[in-house]
Amino acid sequence: MIGIRQKLMLGFGGLLMIILLSGIFTLFNVGRLGGAVDTILKENYRSVTASQQMKESLERIDSGLLFMLTGNAEEGRRLINENIDKFRDALRIEESNITLPGEKAVADRIAVLFSEYSSSLGSMTENAVPPDTKREMYHKKLYPLFYEIKSNAQKILDMNQAHMVQAGRTASELSETVFKRTIAAIAASFIIAALFSMLTHKWILRPIRRLIESTRHIKEGNLNLVLEVGSKDEIGQLSESFNEMAYALRAVKKLDMAKVATAERSADDMLKVLPEAIVVINTNGTIKSASETAEKNFGFRPGEDIGNLGLDWADKLFEQCLIEHKQQTHDGYIQHFIDGSEYFFQPTIIPIPLGRADKKMTSAALILKDVTQVNEQMELKKSVAATVSHQLKTPLTSVRMAVHLLLEERVGGLNEKQTELLLEARDGSDKLSSIIDSLIAIDAAEGKKNAVAVYSAGLLMADAKDAYEADAMDRGLRLICKEAHDLPEVLADREAVAHVFSNLINNAFRFTTAGGEITIDAAHDGDYVCFSVTDTGKGIAPEHLEHIFDRFYRVPGQEGNSGTGLGLAIVREIVQSHGGQVSVVSREGSGSQFRFTIPVYKEESK
């Protein structure tokens, strides 16, 4: 059996061998080519240069002789003395660089002739020799020697130039041979690589693609496939293992489906007898199962589409759950009549994941919690509070008036103890009156439809600053109102919003020491403008933040005259009546920030 490893080694090994042989051949021929070029540039070039130097020096010596014959002896001697050494240096270079057959004999002949020539030059430079004798000596002896030496130097030059031409031709032929053989090696490498690529596609890539395609089918739930095992190599073994895995998955799936079917039947049976209205909805919006209460009282029947029941709140909750994949609770209660009686429910929808590890949503459970009794208790509580508040208002006013008259001593004098008791009665009645006013204000905020109009956010903030700036200065505090740039207009009850700012700023005054700052600010937040009142006071402990807006809740540790605990409850009712929300962010020792939102004005909002 030839495995993938052997196949890869065979293909890559052959390709590597071709590359290795091509590289060795190329390096060998490049070396030869470099040797040929070295011969041309080194050996022959030096001889050519030496020959040219000898000819040039000899010609200058001859020019010196001609200067002497024409009467310019000084210039002639200078030329002769300067160039005779140059000739000898060039001759020595040539004698040390003999590279061609016959070149040595010519160089030796030049040496002999120049020795004879240089000996005769001595007579030419002596002043005692008559000019006629010098001319005769030049024409009969020196010039023939000059001509013969120059001819032999030219012969050496021609020999080396001819050899350079031949060497260049040889190098060119070698270069062409190297080029052709390199092309042949590249072509062979390309053919082998193409052949190996085809074999790789057949041996490896095609089976791997079949495996990838099979995994895609398994991912889509098709476990009834069987791979063809075409070889005994690692790919073939993997294909066999894949078939075994698919068989095992089919068995597991069959067992799981049986378990799931049993579990679903049990869950449906249990769901039907639950007293709560509970509905299970598939991700496509189809009702999968429902309790008898949900089916009887709301019409949730298995197989129905949630969007076709005409229950907008249910459709909206389900869509939101699909988008966010987390629990959604309806804002407020829904009213529903059952057998002619009024009931109130709070719907909550919970996503049901595939499992603990896989959080993918498979369905959702809609739970309708019956809050009728809670709603009735709240309404009763509000009604009692409102009734009691209004009923106590008149007699309490009479009591306060009587206390004030007694303190003013209009009906007789008071001793010290009577005055002390009446002062305590006045403080208690004032506090009770404040509580009743707050309860009436809450009742008014809950039942009243705000007299809304369009205002700029800057105007509402400026109202608050103008109303409390002087009070802040008296307390040694800085009241800062940040400029509201590029903020949209809001739809609000100006008087009610002023009451909200009043409560928040007075609270900030109460808990911020002299030298501190209180900042009024606003920012655009989607469909709302978010107003904030921030102080640098002592802050609120985390455990009290969740109760801070509850009625009659006061943070422990405050002074007795710190308030009734209804101010923030009134703030919440006013803000919620506008369709906004109120919140607080605070840390002990770092101050507090109260925020509330008011809807942005839109053309259709009035």
pLDDT tens, position by position, 370-419: 777 666 666 655 555 556 555 565 676 767 776 676 777 766 777 777 77
Does residue 448 register a pLDDT over 60? no
State both tokens at 270.
């249990």
Question: Across-strand partners of 479?
Answer: 518
Range among 13-22, 152-161, 393-402, 591-600 rated most confident:
591-600
Give yes or no for a contact between 322 and 281, defined as CB atoms under 8 angstroms apart. Answer: no
| Mean pLDDT, range 322-344, rounded to an integer | 77
pLDDT tens, position by position, 196-246: 767 666 666 666 777 777 777 776 666 666 666 666 666 666 777 767 777
The fold for domain 377-446 equals Helix Hairpins (1.10.287)
Identify the pLDDT of residue 393.
59
pLDDT tens, position by position, 179-191: 787 788 778 777 8
Q: How many CB atoms lie within 10 A of CB 566?
A: 23
Range among 82-86, 247-251, 275-279 rated most confident:
82-86
* Range name among 14-18, 289-293, 347-351 with the lowest pLDDT average: 14-18
User: For residue 531, what pLDDT band results from cuts at 50, 70 and 90?
Assistant: very high
Does residue 446 register a pLDDT over 60? no
Helix/strand/coil for 414: coil
H helices present in 291-450, as ranges = 292-298, 312-324, 372-407, 416-447
Instruction: Give the Cα separation of 225 and 244 in Å (integer).
Output: 11
Q: How many CB atoms lie within 10 A of CB 294?
A: 24
Q: Alpha carbon 311 to chain centroid distance?
A: 42
Question: Across-strand partners of 342?
Answer: 337
Under CATH, domain 450-605 is a member of which superfamily? Histidine kinase-like ATPase, C-terminal domain (3.30.565.10)
What are the residue boundaries of the structural domains of the chain, listed by start? 4-194, 273-370, 377-446, 450-605
Instruction: Write down the pTM of the prediction.
Output: 0.38
**Buried/exposed 267-279: b ≥16 CB within 10 Å, e otherwise:** eeeebeeeeebbb
CATH class, 4-194 region: mainly alpha
Identify the pLDDT of residue 596.
95
CATH class, 273-370 region: alpha beta
pLDDT tens, position by position, 503-526: 899 889 988 999 999 999 999 988
Identify the pLDDT of residue 186.
78
User: For residue 451, what pLDDT band results from cuts at 50, 70 and 90?
Assistant: low
Does residue 449 register a pLDDT over 80? no
Instruction: Give the Cα separation of 345 and 282 in Å (integer).
Output: 22
